[in-house]
Every structure is written in structure tokens, then in C-alpha cells.
């Protein structure tokens, strides 16, 4: 579904992505792990068409999006749902309006249909009846649910999650992960998630890729990564201050 080939990106002469290669199959949950500041969000932004590669290629569902612009890029983006780092809800809008927003922007559906779909999605994330609240009035865990409902309301084929559980307590982390797994089972989207919730992500990932020093050092089934002999991966998973990883 997604193929990244030799993706390179520097900012002000500082290389962040030094030749990233990654493949994500249709319908799988791929979780990209790696150090803070290591380029995970930068990688996602390239997949979203929000940043331009210095070199390399990104192919989504057979379409090379690397050089796409305008309407052609928008057409690809309409297949996407995105949960941004921090949730990024519109604070001036109600919970309902936040979830209805992509339907109003991207579809020609009428009011009643939009209301039905937005309310159904709120129901599916466990927020039935909360539509009239403002984002400021609800808890951090609920805001993440709203962000997930908003990302999924258009029933996208591919959903990107940038650290969807950052700042939540361990119980909520597992609750949100469980919600993502349930929704994935129901809607069968392809998911690319960036996270450093170790070890929790190993319970929900089908594939895991580790981004380190500007490259994917290893990618594969979650269990294979967990048991990888690669000292960089083992150090990261254990959170060991001693080892080959140079600290940022």
C-alpha cells in the first residue's frame, strides 16, 4: 500500500532522513519507533505530502506522490485519515463539529447524513452523547478519542497516527490502543503509527520498524523486532542508557 524508497531530507544542511526504505502492506498496522527528534514526524509528513523529499520516492497505492501537487495530491489525501501529534482539535468548535469537519470539507453529504455519520463515529469511540462539549471541557483521553473519530469519519483507507497516546497514563494508553485495534478490525484500514510506547505497542503492531540515525535499521513482524539481535533495537526497547545509540 505504501512504499518509501531511499527517502532523504535535510534541514539547513542537517540530514534527518538519510535514505529511508519502508514497505507497508494493505490492511496492516505498521508502527515506527525511534528516538525523540529522530525524524518520525518528518517521515510521516512526507507520506502526507506536507514536506517535499530532497531525494527518493514515495508510492501510495501505486501512485508516486513524491512530486504531486494541487488536486492530484488532494485526491490521494482524501484516502487518508490523520491523528496528529497532540491531537490538534479545533478548540473553538464543539466535539461534534470537530468530527463533522472532514465530512463538510471533503464530501457533498447533506446535513442529516453528516450528523448521522459523525454521531455514529463518536459512538464507536465511546463518546456517544458528548458532541455538544468543547474540547477544553473534556479529559486528555477523551480528546484523543475525538481526534481518532475525526480521522476515521470519512472511512479512510490509510490512517496515520503520530504518537496518539503521548501524555496519557498507562491505563489510558492501553485503552486507546485497544480502541485502535477494535476500529482496525472493523474498518480494515492500513495504519502507520509513530510511537514510543514501549513495550505496549508490541501488543498491537503487526509490523514494527525502527528509525535510527536517519534510516530504518530493521522492519518486520512485531515479534521478530522484539527478539532482534540488533543491539540498537535491544537498547531502545530496554531503555538502556548504555549501548550503541548516540543520544540526541
Ligand X SMILES: Nc1ncnc2c1ncn2[C@@H]1O[C@H](COP(=O)(O)OP(=O)(O)O)[C@@H](O)[C@H]1O
Say which entry of Mg ion, ligand X, none residue 39 contacts (CB below 5 to 8 A, set by partner kind). Answer: ligand X
What cell does 160 get? Answer: 496515520
Residue given cell 473519530 in the structure block: 149
Give least dist CB 51 to ligand X, A: 7
203 Cβ contact partners less than 8 Å away, ≥ 6 residues apart: 174, 177
Give least dist CB 180 to ligand X, A: 19
Give least dist CB 227 to ligand X, A: 24
Q: Element (H or E) spanning 216, and its range?
A: strand 215-221
Using the minimum distance from each CB to Mg ion, give the nearer residue, 31 or 100: 31
Give residues 35-74 in contact with Mg ion (rule: CB under 5 A).
40-41
Read off φ and ψ for residue 156, nearest 5 degrees.
-70, 155
Say which entry of Mg ion, ligand X, none residue 118 contacts (CB below 5 to 8 A, set by partner kind). Answer: none
Compose the 34-53 pattern: x for residues touching ligand X by CB under 6 A, - for all others. Answer: x-xxxxxxx-----------
For CA atoms 186, 191, 197, 198, give the dihedral sign.
Answer: positive
Compose the 184-223 pattern: x for residues touching ligand X by CB under 6 A, - for all others. Answer: ----------------------------------------
Count other Cβ atoms within 10 Å, centred on residue 45.
16
**What are the distances in angstroms from CA 217 to CA 19, 54, 163, 173?**
11, 20, 20, 26
Using the minimum distance from each CB to Mg ion, give the nearer residue, 40 or 143: 40
**Contact positions toward ligand X, by CB under 6 A?**
11, 16, 34, 36-42
Amino acid at each position: 500500500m505504501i512504499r518509501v524508497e531511499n527517502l532523504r531530507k535535510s534541514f539547513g544542511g542537517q540530514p534527518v532522513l538519510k535514505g529511508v526504505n519502508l514497505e507497508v502492506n494493505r490492511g496492516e498496522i505498521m508502527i515506527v519507533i525511534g528516538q525523540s527528534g529522530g525524524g518520525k514526524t518528518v517521515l510521516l509528513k512526507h507520506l502526507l505530502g506536507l514536506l517535499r523529499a530532497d531525494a527518493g520516492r514515495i508510492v501510495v497505492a501505486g501512485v508516486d506522490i513524491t512530486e504531486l501537487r494541487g488536486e492530484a495530491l488532494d485526491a490521494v489525501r482524501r484516502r487518508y485519515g490523520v491523528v496528529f501529534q497532540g491531537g490538534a482539535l479545533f478548540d473553538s468548535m464543539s466535539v461534534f463539529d470537530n468530527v463533522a469537519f472532514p465530512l463538510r470539507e471533503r464530501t457533498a453529504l447533506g446535513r442529516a447524513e453528516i450528523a448521522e455519520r459523525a454521531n455514529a463515529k463518536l459512538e464507536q469511540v465511546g463518546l456517544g452523547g458528548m458532541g455538544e462539549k468543547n474540547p477544553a471541557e473534556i479529559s486528555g483521553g477523551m480528546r484523543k478519542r475525538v481526534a481518532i473519530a475525526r480521522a476515521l469519519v470519512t472511512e479512510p483507507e490509510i490512517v496515520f497516527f503520530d504518537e496518539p497516546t503521548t501524555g496519557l497514563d498507562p491505563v489510558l494508553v492501553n485503552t486507546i490502543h485497544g480502541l485502535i485495534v477494535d476500529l482496525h478490525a472493523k474498518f480494515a484500514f492500513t495504519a502507520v503509527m509513530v510511537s514510543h510506547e514501549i513495550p505496549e505497542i508490541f501488543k498491537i503492531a503487526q509490523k514494527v520498524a525502527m528509525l535510527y540515525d536517519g534510516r530504518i535499521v530493521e522492519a518486520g513482524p512485531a515479534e521478530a523486532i522484539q527478539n532482534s539481535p540488533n543491539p540498537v533495537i535491544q537498547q531502545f526497547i530496554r531503555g538502556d542508557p548504555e549501548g550503541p545509540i548516540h543520544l540526541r
